[in-house]
Chain A
């Protein structure tokens, strides 16, 4: 036993207690449990939404991406400022409509806006299919972090079971209140830890940032610029754009919009959030420092670069602090995903099929489904093969397909019909699934195109077909409605 182990374990226990305590004095009815009774002030909304940037994926993934690929990792820095610019206008509009109609989920929004239960069901299915692998990713990350930071005292399997049990307990008790309170702790810790690592490591090992990048450039030719082919500028631009559009389309991020007490919160958050996200730069510094200090990691192991370098650089107690932070980056987003998935199953799949179900029954069912969804995620985490990896790759592209129908719903004239929205999302999602499963890129499908086009993110094709289908089907269905005599 060393100093790291009790710190990591302490973080898990603390998260559990704080998460459960968050329910105090609240009557956990459906609206309170899912969207905090629409009463959250700026700080809570900020950590729920901006804090969504700092998941295990960014903590381990951003450093790992910089470590393994170099310059293409810059895209992680670029999509969120663009997403926040869109959010300035998009989020207040979504919030107003959701409040006016007392909505509690993302599928509710589409179902009500387009007046279509079928569309609500489709959006719910797309969301759940995207969320489960995302939860698996958080649990996988948790297993790696706890095993590494406890120097092997906790096995990944034990960590995954422990994490799933902890988030299930506090999600059932406190719903979004538990996520909000733990998110405050998570964001405070990650801010301190990442800023320290990103400044200390380059200074300690290289004497400065410039010196570190000069050393990296000397050791690895072309590592700091986007390559001419592959993850080129065309790839970079299309990926940044797609990711920015998909940013708020995750069902749990979308639901966080509803928790706010007023709409000015979103505009104020939009102004400061790009600076807040700049912290990811420091995560990347760690990855670049690791390429020279702990070389040789390959495949999935690149995601361990931050921890390998930390273990080499610090005493066990501080590795424990980093591990505790990592644990929170897995648990907090995990809890939001878990709640949202269970809630959509109860509120949009079950109630979508039986519209007469009262709120109290939906709340009871959603809470019963929390441990069920957690068990499914644990199963995939421990036994997941290639399928789950494929689903992970698809997740972001799936939810991005919901973007065109959302924007179209805010147009002053009714350009897009419910049939158009439904068909567009269906075609977009099918295209993503087909291209991912076939491992196809634009380059493999159309090898004769110029390189700039071949390197485009395949998601662009899906989004293009989505919009095209949406418009054509809308045109046809609107004409038919116009031809029918008014009743």
Chain B
């Protein structure tokens, strides 16, 4: 499950760029392809945050930090 989630940004960047390789429309001030890649970068953080929360390795870690 976590490994599958981790694949999302890889697919988004490496495969997504094939569909979104165009300059227009400009979204949020960025050419489409650049906007897509920025979105994938933000998604990487989001995906890692979810993985972090469901990863049992971090439970004891957080408990010991309290």
Which A residues fall within an 8 A CB radius of B? 71, 74, 77-78, 81-82, 84-85, 88, 92, 208-210, 213-214, 217, 224-226, 233, 236-237, 240-241, 262-264, 267-268, 270-275, 277-278, 281
Contact = CB atoms under 8 A, between A and B. Distances in A.
Contacts of A209: 28-30
Nearest to B23: A224
A287 to B, nearest CB: 12
A271 B30 CA distance: 24
A240 B29 contact: no
B14 interface: yes
Given A85-B44, A274-B48, A217 B14 contact: no
A74 B34 CA distance: 7
Contacts of B51: 88
A263 B13 CA distance: 28
Contact of B41 (A208, A267, A278): A278
Given A213-B26, A267-B55, A278-B41, A225 B48 contact: no
Given A81-B40, A81-B44, A275-B42, A267 B29 contact: no
Interface in B3-39: 6, 9-10, 13-14, 17-18, 21-24, 26, 28-31, 33-34, 37-38
B48 A77 contact: no
B26 A84 contact: no
A354 B55 CA distance: 44
B40 A271 contact: no
Contact of B44 (A74, A84, A264): A84
Given A217-B31, A271-B45, A81 B23 contact: no
Contacts of B6: 85, 88
B29 A210 contact: yes
Contacts of A275: 41-42, 45
Given A74-B33, A82-B9, A225-B31, A267 B44 contact: no
Interface residues of B, number: 36
Interface of B: 6, 9-10, 13-14, 17-18, 21-24, 26, 28-31, 33-34, 37-38, 40-42, 44-45, 47-49, 51-52, 55, 57-58, 61-62, 65
15 contacts: A78-B13, A92-B57, A209-B29, A213-B31, A225-B21, A225-B22, A225-B33, A226-B21, A237-B14, A264-B57, A267-B52, A271-B52, A274-B45, A275-B42, A278-B41
Contacts of A208: 29
Given A85-B9, A226-B33, A267-B55, A240 B26 contact: no
Given A77-B37, A271-B49, A233 B17 contact: yes
Contacts of A271: 45, 48-49, 52
Nearest to A202: B29
Contacts of B40: 78, 81
A224 B41 contact: no
A77 B41 contact: yes
Given A78-B13, A226-B17, A278-B38, A71 B48 contact: no
Given A71-B33, A275-B41, A278-B42, 14 more contacts: A77-B37, A81-B13, A81-B41, A82-B13, A84-B44, A209-B30, A213-B29, A213-B30, A224-B33, A233-B21, A237-B14, A268-B52, A271-B48, A274-B48
Closest 9 CB pairs of A and B: A209-B29, A81-B44, A264-B61, A224-B23, A274-B44, A210-B29, A224-B31, A274-B45, A271-B48
